[in-house]
A and B are shown apart, each in its own frame.
Chain A
Amino acid sequence: MTFRQWEKAFKKRLSRLPGEERERALDYYAELYGDKLDAGNSEREIVRGFGDPKAAADKIVAEWAESSSAQSRATRPRTAGDTAARAAVAVLLFLFVGLPLLAVVFCLAAAGAALLVSGFAAILAGIAYDAYFLVQLCMYGGAAYVAHIGIGLATAGAGALLVPLFLCCTKWLFIGCGKIFVLTGRIVSGKREAY
């Protein structure tokens, strides 16, 4: 393959580039060819060193596309269409991601709160139960009431034992809810950035 043939194939493959970029790339290789020729290399050696013209062109086109895309992301002014698109995406994300996640988080938080309350409720229920049957015992006497008092004490005791565990579970549930919020926020802001 001669350099002219190489250059022709190279130029054809660069057709995707704007005119100025294409001329710049062609000038670059033409200059290199001239310098290598002056340095004593043969045309065949030079062309072999340049490699496949299509591959060389594809590399240049890929770099140009990447840098153009990065520049347009950085400098593209917002248009009304962009704002409307972003608003539409935000609404859809809120409806199909945000709302269900809020519902899940609310339910988890409610479960956590209920768990915390249940331990104390068991204690209070046990105490109330004891109080009632203590009064009954005082008024009417009887072993049955003593048994009931025992049950109340056991309930209060179980509640007291479970409160720390429930406290821990509630804490982790609320931490989990917080993490879900943060993750959702990241997903939503990531999607918005893409637009």
Chain B
Amino acid sequence: MDAQLKKGLLDVCVLAVLRRGESYGYKIIADIAPYIEISESTLYPILKRLEISGAVTAHSREFNGRLRKYYAITEKGQRRILEFVEDVKEFERIYEFILQGGNV
């Protein structure tokens, strides 16, 4: 898969996981991995980017005597998912156009 395309998809995949409820790094990777390849080093910049852009918020909580960072989706993150869904609809139209060899 194209690297830039995958980068965009992964952002939305993380937001989709967080839409179900707040989560943390290891669980996010475990939830996404069956659908798209993602590694620890890939997730880190995604979470950071989403946090900076305001799509997610982060807070730390104690778990088993250590700190664990939890991420939660924001309104902005929710809108980002809706925008992605719209983009996919448009992509589907273009995909049909290409599949039909450029014929309308």
Contact = CB atoms under 8 A, between A and B. Distances in A.
Interface of A: 24-25, 27-32, 34-36, 38-39, 49-51, 55-56, 59-60, 63, 67
Nearest to A30: B66
B40 interface: yes
Contacts of B40: 28-29, 32, 49-50, 56
B10 to A, nearest CB: 13
Contacts of B66: 30-31, 34
Interface residues of B, number: 17
B26 interface: yes
A35 B25 contact: yes
B69 A31 contact: yes
Interface in B38-96: 39-41, 44-45, 48-49, 52, 64, 66-69
Contacts, number: 50
List 7 tightest A-B contacts by C-beta distance, closest first. Answer: A35-B26, A63-B45, A56-B41, A59-B41, A34-B66, A28-B44, A32-B40
A35 B24 contact: yes
A181 to B, nearest CB: 34
Given A31-B66, A67-B49, A25 B24 contact: no
A7 to B, nearest CB: 13
B25 to A, nearest CB: 5
Contacts of A32: 25-26, 40
A35 B28 CA distance: 12
Given A36-B26, A67-B49, A67-B52, A31 B44 contact: no
A60 B48 CA distance: 10
B64 A27 contact: no
Between A34, A38, A60, the greatest number of chain B beta carbons within 10 A of the residue's beta carbon is seen for A34
Nearest to A21: B48
Given A28-B40, A49-B40, A59-B45, 4 more contacts: A34-B68, A38-B64, A51-B39, A60-B45
